[in-house]
Amino acid sequence: MKIILTFISVLILTNTIQAQIVSEAEHKIIFQLTDGDAGVHQKFIRQLHNILSAAPKAKIEVVTHGMGIDLLKLEQNTFEEELIGLSNKGIVFVICENTLKQRGMNKSQFLSLSGFVPSAILELVQKQEQGWIYIKAGG
């Protein structure tokens, strides 16, 4: 019985350590997503969760363009609930309007949590000029 209690205590302690906050800073991170692959999207969403677990005060914006806008499509989106949850935690998701024009799509085809920017590249540049850290998401 003592061995079982010790084992349970170790498991609880291990889980507590893994869920530990690493940073209380308000990091500003901007991600660029251009990949339309669902597997990449799944891994990226997991990364976003990991960041918020480690740094819950982080400000995060995800700029999508090219095929990356598929992450936010309204129709048959298997990630909708997770994206809503991330949006509710403060993550901002935006779509490039230039990409919409190039792909012949319109704003109504995307989740309501989606924001829109005229130019993804210009959005990335402006955020970096404001001190945001840039990370290229996906493959």
Task: Find the CATH number of the domain harbouring 52.
Answer: 3.40.1260.10
Mean pLDDT by groups of 10 residues along the chain of 139 residues: 51 51 89 96 96 96 98 96 97 98 97 98 98 90
**Is residue 9 included in any domain, yes or no?**
no
pLDDT score at 54: 95
Q: What is the extent of the structural domain holding 124?
A: 23-137
**Is residue 13 included in any domain, yes or no?**
no
pLDDT score at 17: 44
**Is residue 4 included in any domain, yes or no?**
no
pLDDT score at 138: 78
**Is residue 10 included in any domain, yes or no?**
no
Q: How far apart are CA 115 and CA 29, in angstroms?
A: 17
pLDDT score at 24: 82
By DSSP bridging, strand 59-64 and strand 92-96 are: parallel
**Is residue 15 included in any domain, yes or no?**
no
pLDDT score at 2: 56
**Is residue 12 included in any domain, yes or no?**
no
Q: What is the CA radius of gyration of the chain?
A: 18
**Is residue 3 included in any domain, yes or no?**
no
pLDDT score at 14: 47
| Overall number of domains in the chain | 1
| Both tokens assigned to 40 | 């990449």
The reported pTM is 0.84
